[in-house]
Amino acid sequence: MQYSSLIKSEKISKLGFGLMRLPKIDENSEDIDFEKAGELVDIAIKSGVNYFDTAFVYNGGNSEEFVGEVLTKYPRKSFYLATKLPGWSLKTNPNPKELFDFQLERCNVEYFDFYLLHSVNDDIAEVFEKTGSYEFLRQMKKEGKIKNIGFSFHGSLSLFKRWLKEYEWDFVQIQLNYYDWENQDAKTLYRLLEEKGIPCIVMEPVRGGSLQKLNDEARAVFSELSDDSPASYALRFAAQLPNVLTVLSGMSDKEQVLDNIKTFSGNIPLSEEETTAVNKAAVLFRKNFAVPCTSCGYCLEACPNSIAIPDIFMLFNEYNLSRDDAAFNKSYKDIPKNKNAGLCVECGECIEHCPQKIDIPKKLKHIHKVPDSIG
Ligand code: SF4
Ligand code: SF4
């Protein structure tokens, strides 16, 4: 395992375990299969992974419960634990302390190594500022209940610059992968952090798994080079950057865990030939995205009608590539009637939760009409 020493006297694994896509008991629920998920964590820890990332909202709170029941069987000092304060919840309960104390209890720990203001965008930033959340985090740091303070970001460049200027951060978490490097200007955010000497934590290095799946043309670019998985190139792209503290991967099965461990046990920097391949794959993959959804699931927390938003977008992206009308019609019909796009009432609740800034109701409306239009 490769380690980073960007934070003084800490040895943090370059591969971080994101606890948001753990195996579930039933795909239609948020209940994590603790036994299966525990096996993944055991393998990761045995192989040297020591950074674990959860959040208040992951799996409707089950991810933090999993930490409290399973991860904490390991000695507290043997792992770094990161979790996050949900700005959306502060809208109805403007008391960060209440949420924080609840998280400590749910995770069964006395302190968090890394604590983030979650998914900051222009709207949520205002909520954090109104509720004094940053000042609260500093107080918790003083009391030893937080070791490092940061935020995860999905907002505008001007907000990013302002937050770096106005507050003091130990680290910042951004979406960074070879596809978004130019596309969503991850490069600019990364460079700003580098200039200020603030370590960067990478989220979505494989873009919700889509840079593993790719499309046939992009996949062929990598298979011509080696048998290594497409995901391994995406992870190495992020991990090779000198100011990256750890790269989070939301692992959900043993195959992924083992593949990632293999990646982070070998050579990280991409060769010139590999860099060319990555750039080529990004161009070939661009046409894949009818909807740039990463399946993060944040919108699901907001939707009053429990619409299966990421599943619907995934089907539509597949259809965009295959143009297989019959296959799309069949799989769209397989989405339970009480979760399909036709139930969208265009309330817009989901939009502010979406880190990719997708106009979800508009896309759903369009997709729902597709089966009729193709017959
Ligand atoms: S706009 Fe549609 S998809 Fe979004 S929260 Fe409202 S009902 Fe759900
Ligand atoms: S629509 Fe947006 S919030 Fe919902 S899963 Fe996709 S990326 Fe995440």
Give the residue, by CA position, lying nearest to ligand 2 atom 6: 293
Identify which ligand lies nearest to the alpha carbon of 367. Answer: 1
CA distance 316 to 290: 7
Highest mean pLDDT among 54-58, 206-210, 211-215, 327-331: 54-58
Q: What was the pLDDT predicted at 322?
A: 67
Q: Rounded to whole angstroms, how far apart are CA atoms 301 and 47?
A: 34
Give the per-residue pLDDT at 73.
Answer: 94
pLDDT per position as a tens digit, 97-121: 999 999 999 999 999 999 999 999 8
Q: How many CB atoms lie within 10 A of CB 121?
A: 18
- Ligand in closest contact with the CA of 358: 2
Q: Which of 204, 296, 316, 351 to probe ligand 2 with, by most ligand atoms within 8 A of CB?
A: 296
Nearest CA to ligand 1 atom 5: 303
pTM above 0.85, yes or no: no
Contact between 113 and 80 under an 8 Å Cβ cutoff? The reply is yes
Q: What ligand has the least distance to the C-alpha of 310?
A: 2
For the stretch 138-176, pLDDT in tens is 999 999 999 999 999 988 889 999 999 999 999 999 999
Between 128 and 209, the more confident residue is 128
The CATH homologous superfamily of the domain defined by 3-287: NADP-dependent oxidoreductase domain (3.20.20.100)
Mutate to test the pocket of ligand 1, among 312, 338, 344 (most ligand atoms within 8 A of CB): 344
Query: What are the start-end ranges of the H helices in the chain?
Result: 34-46, 62-69, 87-92, 96-107, 122-130, 133-142, 157-166, 180-183, 186-196, 210-213, 216-223, 230-239, 254-265, 272-285, 298-302, 309-322, 325-334, 360-374
- CA–centroid distance, 67 to ligand 2, in Å, is 24
Q: Which of 299, 316, 335, 350 to mutate to test the pocket of ligand 1 (most atoms within 8 A of CB)?
A: 350
Outline which parts of the chain fall under CATH 3.20.20.100.
3-287
Instruction: Tell how far the Cα of 153 is from the centroid of ligand 2, in angstroms.
Output: 15
The DSSP symbol for 93 reads -
pLDDT over 70 at 373, yes or no: no
Q: In this model, does residue 323 exceed pLDDT 80?
A: no
Index of the ligand 1 atom closest to the CA of residue 348: 1
